[in-house]
Amino acid sequence: MILKLLRIFTIILSFFFLTGFISVFSILGPGMTVLTSGNIYKAGAQFIINQSIEKETGKNSLTLIKEEINKNLIKEEIKKNNSLNEDLRQLVEKRIEITRQKLENQNLQKLVKKRITVTRLKLNLNNINQ
């Protein structure tokens, strides 16, 4: 039993000295997985995945996930702001259209009144009451 533990300790120690620097945190996570679940395959897979993510992106998996979540939140916020801006634009356009219609109606009424007065003057109907 002691010989087996000595072999395991020697292999782990050789990783530190033969491969250069291995970050403690990349071993700590899988080590905790082995201790809590007892599943060595799961811990090995976790270590390999973390190493491949770090090699691919230069970031550890926790930082990568945090940045992706932040990107998604920013995208949702931009969509929300664009939606709000679009709603505001539609509201303003609707109010402008209503105001234009009111102005056109007022101008039409003024034109009709002017025509009536001009017609009365031409027909000399000012003295006649309706």
Cβ atoms of 16 and 22 within 8 Å: the answer is yes
Cβ atoms of 50 and 60 within 8 Å: the answer is yes
- Is the pLDDT at 88 greater than 80? The verdict is yes
Cβ atoms of 47 and 26 within 8 Å: the answer is yes
For 115, half-sphere exposure in the C-beta direction (CA atoms, 13 angstrom radius) is 6
Kindly calculate the radius of gyration of the chain based on its CA atoms and give it in whole angstroms: 40
More confident residue, 36 or 70: 70
Query: Please, which pLDDT band fits residue 93 given cuts at 50, 70 and 90?
Result: very high
- Is the pLDDT at 23 greater than 80? The verdict is no
User: Measured on CA atoms in the order 107, 112, 113, 118, is the torsion positive or negative?
Assistant: positive
What's 37's DSSP letter? H
- Is the pLDDT at 117 greater than 70? The verdict is yes
pLDDT at 38: 65
Query: Please, which pLDDT band fits residue 130 given cuts at 50, 70 and 90?
Result: low
Query: Rounded distance, CA 27 to CA 31, Å?
Result: 6
What is the H or E stretch that residue 100 is in?
A: helix 61-123
Catalogue the long-range contacts made by 58-67 (C-beta closer than 8 Å, 24 or more residues apart): 60/25, 60/26
Q: What is the mean pLDDT of residues 21-46?
A: 67
To the nearest whole percent, how much of the chain has pLDDT over 90?
Answer: 6
